[in-house]
Amino acid sequence: MRIDKFLWSIRFYKTRTIATEEIKKNRVSIGESVVKSSKEVKEGDVIKIRKNQIDYKIKVIQIPKSRIGAKLVPLHIKDVTDKEQYELLKMRKMSQDYYRIKGEGRPTKKDRRDMDDYVENDISSDFTDWDDFFGEKDGDNSEDD
């Protein structure tokens, strides 16, 4: 089976097109060599995949005939990814959730006002009045005539 079809059939990528694009970007390799989409996968191959900024390693146990259900994936591959790669992924996800918990949605009105006050105070300290900056005075408007 072709490697792009294999990665799609074991549900590593959502579509076969995405799998092909990732292969073209040299993010997939068998052993130590980067492969093309047409490379045939055999039982016993170790596939290295760069996804979500970590390096996954999977060992092919069995080649599926077509796309399989998520519960059947462990029958066809074995995950041999290093534990520290998963720790890296966990740390990155935790660092992204520092402000708002996932699923909490848009900022509330209070959050928005707090952000506006912060930005307003930051700008007002470095900002001068535009009329003073351009040298205009209150009585110097010649446009009124």
For residue range 24-43, list pLDDT tens digits in order: 999 999 988 899 989 999 99
9 belongs to a structural domain: yes
- Please check whether residue 3 is in contact with residue 37, taking contact to mean a CB–CB distance below 8 angstroms: yes
Render the burial of 107-145: b for 16+ CB within 10 Å, e for the rest: eeeeeeeeeeeeeeeeeeeeeeeeeeeeeeeeeeeeeee
**Residue 20, SS3 per DSSP:** helix
User: 93 with 64, same domain?
Assistant: no
Q: How many CB atoms lie within 10 A of CB 17?
A: 11
User: 73 with 87, same domain?
Assistant: no
23 belongs to a structural domain: yes
140 belongs to a structural domain: no
User: 75 with 8, same domain?
Assistant: yes
Q: What's the pLDDT band for 121 if we cut at 50, 70, 90? A: confident
User: 93 with 116, same domain?
Assistant: yes
- Please check whether residue 47 is in contact with residue 28, taking contact to mean a CB–CB distance below 8 angstroms: yes
The pTM of this model reads: 0.62
- Domain limit, last residue, from 63, 81, 99: 81
**pLDDT one-digit tens code per residue, 8-25:** 999 999 999 999 999 999
* Amino acid of residue 117: D
What would the mean pLDDT of 74-96 be, rounded to a whole number? 85
User: 55 with 103, same domain?
Assistant: no
User: 103 with 118, same domain?
Assistant: yes
139 belongs to a structural domain: no
